[in-house]
Structure 1
Amino acid sequence: MKYYIFTIVYVLFFSFTALKAQEVEHVILISVDGFRPEFYKEEGWPAAHMKILAEKGVYADEVRTIFPSVTYPSHTTLSTGVFPADHGIFYNTEVMDNGKPGKWFYDFSQVKARTLWQAAKEKGWSTASVSWPVTVNNPYIDYNIPEIWSFENPADRRGATAEYATPEGLFEEVVSEATGKLDRDEYNLSSLRMDGNLGRIAAYLVEKYRPNLLTVHLPNTDGAQHKSGREGEEVKRAVAGADHAIGEIYDAVKRAGILDKTAIIITGDHGFVTTHTSISPNLWLKQNGLYDKAFFFSTGGSAFLHLRDKGDKNTVTRVKDMLLGLPMSQRSMFRVITGEMLTKMETVPGVSLAISANDGFCFDNESEGSLLREKTGGKHGYYPDFHNIYTGFIGFGAGFSSQKRITYMQMEDIPAMIAFLLKMELPDAKGVVYPGIMKNDKK
């Protein structure tokens, strides 16, 4: 839906032209990787800051993510308002000809859609970002600490981050002024210190530069749930760490004296499913003489059928028939995602068949060995039409109503909302701004 339609709807239905949202000068978008609405809705989760902001502001019971429900495509939808078919980030990584994952998507030139940062710069706003995926070499971010790592030693992110941070010297500045000296494991996913340090960096940027648009990605809750599933001590520790980082950012907004002009949005990229068994669907193709024609590429919860010959539609039919003809003991582990369902979700171009695992199951890219393997922990990537894979939403501060609950939202609604709050042009965004969640709405 076009941005100007949002404005017309508000004028016609609420008969006022001076929305409180027009007073917003700063928006902070915080993505908690693997964010689930239970974190702020249920007792037992150590998330005091999230819960207070949700109680005082606006929150959603669930937010439908995209397909595949994985980190990099989801974050690109959060920054563009469009789906993978339009923004060009289909998976976390490129797909190699042999069916294995290739390079991670990381360079901004790979994003094919207009972004919030571009819209902000055209409006004259200042921008900043901390550890947001696919932001390396982004010319629209004034203060950018991108998500990047050494390709030779992926556990060490410091050198690559310093190289690609903009302006030059920004990473050294935040280390000196915000985090203190960082050891390797204090700035990677092996330690909860990662979220803590990212929170300190974001807080520093708020106080020092007061950006009008700040995007922040906190990744540790994802790793904890991959390891432990939806529950467990490690997940609670990670949630507490993300919540503390959010508190750091909130306090920085107060110290900067801009709380009354700032909207804080907390959301995520996907939920999680607890697993016990991994399936190797490429073995089905091998057993039926189809692996030389196509391969399944796994995103964890789903697997997408890639044709070796793009025009070979006959193989798609043969694979679908094969899947439907499997023994019930295997057929009950997954469901077929048809071309119509893929089109609806505007997902990977050229793919007309996928499979999504049922509860407890996931997929891998193996083409040798056993069909089934023990796989305890958690996965995402599933077709997004059930609660556990959905993410959450909290909106607090300038422009938002108080004590409002939304039962259901869609991920693409969030960038449309940010464009509305900052009066920016994001005409291709496919989300909507819901009546009743903005201040002064009488609905």
Structure 2
Amino acid sequence: MSRILAIGFALLVGFCPMAEAVEQHVVVITIDGLPASYLNDIHASLPVIRGLAKSGVAAVDGMHVSNPSVTWPNHTTLMTGVHPEKHGVIFNGGLERIPATNMVRVNPKKTQAELVRVPLLFDIIKEAGLSSAAINWPCTRESKSIDDNFPDVPENVRNSSPRLVKELTESGVLRHFEDGGSIVRDEVWTDAACHVIRHRMPRLLALHLLNLDSTHHRYGPNSAPGYTAAALCDAMVGRVVKAIDEAGVRDRTTIFLVADHGFAAIHKSLNPNAILRREGLIQVENGKVTSARAFVVPEGGTGLVYLTNPETATQDAQTVRRLFEGAEGIVSVLGPDEFARYHMPTPATHKDMANLILVAKDGYTVGGATAGDEFVVVNKSGTTGSHGFLSTEPKMNAIFVASGSGIKSGVALKAIDNSDVAPTAARLLGVPLKQATGRILTEILAEGN
């Protein structure tokens, strides 16, 4: 009799809802170019984001970002838990060398396999049998792990998941995507994310909004257009939260609201390639570069210097230092022995890494123009904006907010590193991220996570 009762009890527990594993969901939203400072800026209207922070956790000093502090390297850190020295992404694309001219250029039409040296979190959870979606997320082209993919690449729609394209086309969401500007595209990406959430809520969804970055580049941070663009992004975050509610999974969903980098106001531009042309290291005919022994790829607050002729590289490095060390607008010229300090690869560990790095001062940005003889050019259009400065510059700190399932409320958090996001998300999903150099933010996690 006791054996029969024991079997009956075991069967009862097996069918009891309390015994079922709860499916945890994680949503990561990046607002491109949203500085940490906006969270407490009285001029910034961010009711949804501040609501998430109030019910969860926000880093007071924001999130330290990866170098270069540009979009694709930092989105890759957010989904790998490692910096560019390990994941290998150092541009918004992949570097290409042109043998005929010794020129270098960045090509954004690259696949995940060509760009990223380690698995993305999408890949890690796929192996564990969990679903994912990535909307406008960089370095995901031709991903074999993402169930609904709308990658951040040229020809976005052509490279997106056929099922998702079909559904968004039938619903009319994609009608104005190709011809619309950055605001329309953010609207479409938000609609796409909400569609996926409502119809087949994945275990991990990543959404990247881009219009604020475009606006800050044109008008600068802390500008009226910048604040307006930030408010629009906040409203889009509200739509995603509403979709999570409508999907009935709010109590099982963690939301990370982050950015890839901050922003700095710019008043002057630096044209190192024009000076290299003047010094004979770059040859130009009819406005086109015909050869280059040294060439600078601009990354905003930094410029990556490529010395393309091995026979003259030592001499050319000395010339670059002579020309730019101590020049107006330049903080320093970094050599490979200093790259590790900023978690960047060296030419010895990454074939596409630069030989030197020009570091601009606050208020200056590095341009790529080869025309003219002036190194410093004042912005005729007034204040603009840029990023790409070293991550030690506080203005590059990105916003960090975590809220929802598994997150404590009211934890005092000063600053974190953006490599901490992926391992923390992985912990919430119950999947270890062994490759991560970032840490799990255990201090913000509720008991049992």
Q: TM-score, normalised by structure 2?
A: 0.84
Correspondence for 2:58: 59
For residues 23-42 of structure 1, the aligned pairs below 5 Å read 25-42=24-41
1:132 is paired with a residue of what secondary structure? Answer: coil
Q: Does the 8 Å CA contact 1:196/1:244 hold for their aligned counterparts?
A: no
Partner residue of 1:181 out of 146, 162, 175: 175
Correspondence for 1:341: 338
Q: Mean Cα displacement is larger for which, 349-358 or 48-57? A: 349-358
Partner residue of 2:375 out of 348, 371, 382: 371
Correspondence for 1:155: none
Q: CA deviation at 1:387?
A: 1.1
Correspondence for 1:206: 197
Partner residue of 1:140 out of 142, 145, 165: 145
Q: CA deviation at 1:382?
A: 1.0
Q: Does the 8 Å CA contact 2:325/2:332 hold for their aligned counterparts?
A: no
Partner residue of 1:236 out of 227, 238, 243: 227
1:362 is paired with a residue of what secondary structure? Answer: strand
Correspondence for 1:129: 134
Question: Is 1:297 aligned to residue 291 of structure 2?
Answer: no
2:195 is paired with a residue of what secondary structure? Answer: helix
Q: CA deviation at 1:416?
A: 1.3
Q: Does the 8 Å CA contact 1:78/1:415 hold for their aligned counterparts?
A: yes
Partner residue of 2:415 out of 395, 405, 408: 408
Q: Does the 8 Å CA contact 1:106/1:135 hold for their aligned counterparts?
A: no
1:244 and 1:310, CA in 2 relative to 1: closer, same or farther beyond 3 A?
Answer: farther
1:413 is paired with a residue of what secondary structure? Answer: helix
Q: CA deviation at 1:169?
A: 3.5
Q: CA deviation at 1:305?
A: 1.6
Letter in 2 for 1:121: K
Letter in 1 for 2:63: V
Q: Deviations over 1:284-328 (max 9, x none)?
A: 4344455553222211110112111358662365146404665xx
Question: Could you tell me how far apart the structure 2 residues matched to 1:377 and 1:132 are?
Answer: 25
Alignment RMSD, CA only?
2.4
2:179 is paired with a residue of what secondary structure? Answer: helix
Question: Could you tell me how far apart the structure 2 residues matched to 1:165 and 1:266 are?
Answer: 24
Q: CA deviation at 1:425?
A: 2.8
Question: Could you tell me how far apart the structure 2 residues matched to 1:260 and 1:312 are?
Answer: 62
Q: Does the 8 Å CA contact 2:70/2:92 hold for their aligned counterparts?
A: yes
Q: Does the 8 Å CA contact 1:196/1:242 hold for their aligned counterparts?
A: no
1:44 is paired with a residue of what secondary structure? Answer: coil
Q: CA deviation at 1:135?
A: 1.3
Q: Does the 8 Å CA contact 2:30/2:209 hold for their aligned counterparts?
A: yes
Question: Could you tell me how far apart the structure 2 residues matched to 1:47 and 1:349 are?
Answer: 40
Correspondence for 1:272: 263
Correspondence for 1:439: 446
Correspondence for 1:388: 395
Q: Does the 8 Å CA contact 1:106/1:133 hold for their aligned counterparts?
A: no
Correspondence for 1:164: 159
Question: Could you tell me how far apart the structure 1 residues matched to 2:337 and 2:313 are?
Answer: 15
Letter in 1 for 2:417: Q
Partner residue of 1:254 out of 232, 245, 259: 245
Correspondence for 2:106: 102
Q: Deviations over 1:129-173 (max 9, x none)?
A: 1111121210100111222334xxxxxxxxx51x3221x241231
1:40 is paired with a residue of what secondary structure? Answer: helix
Q: Deviations over 1:393-436 (max 9, x none)?
A: 10001111102231111111111111111121321111012342
1:86 and 1:208, CA in 2 relative to 1: closer, same or farther beyond 3 A?
Answer: same
1:175 and 1:235, CA in 2 relative to 1: closer, same or farther beyond 3 A?
Answer: farther
Question: Could you tell me how far apart the structure 1 residues matched to 2:321 and 2:150 are?
Answer: 48
1:250 and 1:35, CA in 2 relative to 1: closer, same or farther beyond 3 A?
Answer: same
Correspondence for 2:315: 315
Q: CA deviation at 1:441?
A: 8.6
Question: Could you tell me how far apart the structure 1 residues matched to 2:204 and 2:86 are?
Answer: 23
1:73 and 1:312, CA in 2 relative to 1: closer, same or farther beyond 3 A?
Answer: farther
Q: CA deviation at 1:352?
A: 4.2
1:381 and 1:99, CA in 2 relative to 1: closer, same or farther beyond 3 A?
Answer: farther
Q: Mean Cα displacement is larger for which, 312-321 or 31-40? A: 312-321
1:312 and 1:265, CA in 2 relative to 1: closer, same or farther beyond 3 A?
Answer: farther
Q: Does the 8 Å CA contact 2:257/2:401 hold for their aligned counterparts?
A: yes
2:346 is paired with a residue of what secondary structure? Answer: coil
Q: TM-score, normalised by structure 1?
A: 0.85
1:281 and 1:219, CA in 2 relative to 1: closer, same or farther beyond 3 A?
Answer: same
Q: CA deviation at 1:272?
A: 0.7
Gapped runs of 5+ residues in structure 1?
A: 1-21, 151-159
1:81 is paired with a residue of what secondary structure? Answer: coil
Q: Does the 8 Å CA contact 2:423/2:432 hold for their aligned counterparts?
A: no
1:438 and 1:319, CA in 2 relative to 1: closer, same or farther beyond 3 A?
Answer: farther
Question: Could you tell me how far apart the structure 2 residues matched to 1:377 and 1:441 are?
Answer: 47
Q: Does the 8 Å CA contact 2:251/2:404 hold for their aligned counterparts?
A: yes
Correspondence for 2:6: none
Q: CA deviation at 1:180?
A: 6.6
1:310 and 1:121, CA in 2 relative to 1: closer, same or farther beyond 3 A?
Answer: farther
Question: Is 1:425 aligned to residue 432 of structure 2?
Answer: yes
Q: Does the 8 Å CA contact 1:99/1:296 hold for their aligned counterparts?
A: no
Correspondence for 1:14: none
Q: Give me the identity figure in percent.
A: 26
Q: Does the 8 Å CA contact 1:298/1:364 hold for their aligned counterparts?
A: yes
1:324 and 1:89, CA in 2 relative to 1: closer, same or farther beyond 3 A?
Answer: closer
1:388 and 1:23, CA in 2 relative to 1: closer, same or farther beyond 3 A?
Answer: farther
Question: Could you tell me how far apart the structure 2 residues matched to 1:90 and 1:24 are?
Answer: 35
Question: Could you tell me how far apart the structure 1 residues matched to 2:196 and 2:45 are?
Answer: 26
Gapped runs of 5+ residues in structure 2?
A: 1-20, 283-291, 348-353
Correspondence for 2:92: 92
Correspondence for 1:47: 46
Task: Kindly tell me the number of residue pairs found equivalent between the two proteins.
Answer: 404
